[in-house]
Amino acid sequence: MHVNPSVKSFINYIIAILFLILLWQFISLCMADPALPGSVQAIRAFVTGLDNGISRNLLFSAFRVVISILLSTLLAVPLGLLLGRETHLDRFLGPVVYLIYPIPKIVFLPVVLSLFGLGNWAKIFLISLIIFFQILVTARDAARSVERLYLYSVKSLGASRKDLYRHVILPACLPEIFTSLRTGLGAAIAVLFMTETFASSEGIGFYLMDSWSRLSYNEMYAGVIAMSLLGFVLYIILDWLEKKICPWKFLY
């Protein structure tokens, strides 16, 4: 029987999900600990929780992480490309980036909370700060290694510097930028969780820790499911965007 490949991969995902749900249920049965309820109870708690706080908290979390990714991408990509191509700029800013990049920015959490307060912006600032550097360094390195002959060939058509960025440098770096966005997404959600557990009253991180403090384990796992779904959906969106924006990477 001939099956459409996208249908086939969809079926494979369903099988994988069922497998994980069963594995979870099995481990929970073996451990018989209230701190690890079965997948069935957790899913039930998630569904009933949707009307009861999860949806609202999920929206808060999604808003924070999406805005952070957009903000850091919009700032890091142009700056990274410039640093990669303009040597005089890199000579000045390169050492600065080199010094700041390895600092674990999460240690600034208390500082950021003090400066920006407990609302959305402190969280957005910290998430953006962390993935900004990941994207910046990737974009810079990708821009540095753009094949020189592509640049010469387009230059010979009379291209200005702006044309070179638009037609050569940016598209050449896009696949690597998407890879950095994918790894950045994981970091963003982890940081989102951290920020939402501190002095927060909204967000899935808050919902999860609140459930934990009330020893409501089913709801706590509903929060875990919500957080995972958020990551999964954003991951799918990134994949879809890459296929739309970089069709030449997916020819066969």
Partner 1 sequence: MANELVKIEKLQVSYKKSGSLAPALESVDLYLEQGQTCTVIGPSGCGKSTLLFILAGLYTDAEVEIRGRVLSPEKRRMALILQDYGLLPWKTVWDNAMLGLKIRGMSNKAKQGILEKVLRDLGIWEFKDRFPAQLSGGQRQRVAIARALALEPELLLMDEPLSSLDALTREALQELLLDICQKTKMSLILVTHNIEEAVLLGRQVLIMSPGPGRILNVLENSSAGNIGYRNQQAYFEQCLKVRKLLERGINDAC
Does 91 engage in binding with partner 1 (CB under 8 A)?
Answer: no
Among 8, 32, 104, 152, binds partner 1 (CB under 8 A): 152
Cα separation, 125 vs 28, whole angstroms: 38
Q: How many CB atoms lie within 10 A of CB 245?
A: 13
Does 6 engage in binding with partner 1 (CB under 8 A)?
Answer: no
Does 157 engage in binding with partner 1 (CB under 8 A)?
Answer: yes
Cα separation, 142 vs 136, whole angstroms: 10
What's the closest the beta carbon of residue 163 comes to partner 1, in angstroms? 5
Does 167 engage in binding with partner 1 (CB under 8 A)?
Answer: yes
Tokens matching residue 191? 């940081």
Cα separation, 27 vs 228, whole angstroms: 19
Among 153, 183, 201, 228, binds partner 1 (CB under 8 A): 153
Does 109 engage in binding with partner 1 (CB under 8 A)?
Answer: no
What's the closest the beta carbon of residue 9 comes to partner 1, in angstroms? 23
**Category of 2 on φ-ψ map: left (φ > 0), alpha (ψ -120 to 50) or beta:** beta
**Piece in contact with partner 1 (CB under 8 A), picked from 19-27, 75-83, 169-177, 190-198:** 169-177
Tokens matching residue 174? 């896009």
CB 230 within 8 A of CB 65: yes
Does 146 engage in binding with partner 1 (CB under 8 A)?
Answer: no
What HEC string does 208-249 produce? HHHHHHCCCHHHHHHHHHHHHHHHHHHHHHHHHHHHHHCHHH
Does 244 engage in binding with partner 1 (CB under 8 A)?
Answer: no
Does 150 engage in binding with partner 1 (CB under 8 A)?
Answer: yes
Q: Which residues bind partner 1 (CB under 8 A)?
A: 147, 149-150, 152-160, 163, 167-168, 171-172, 174, 246-248, 251
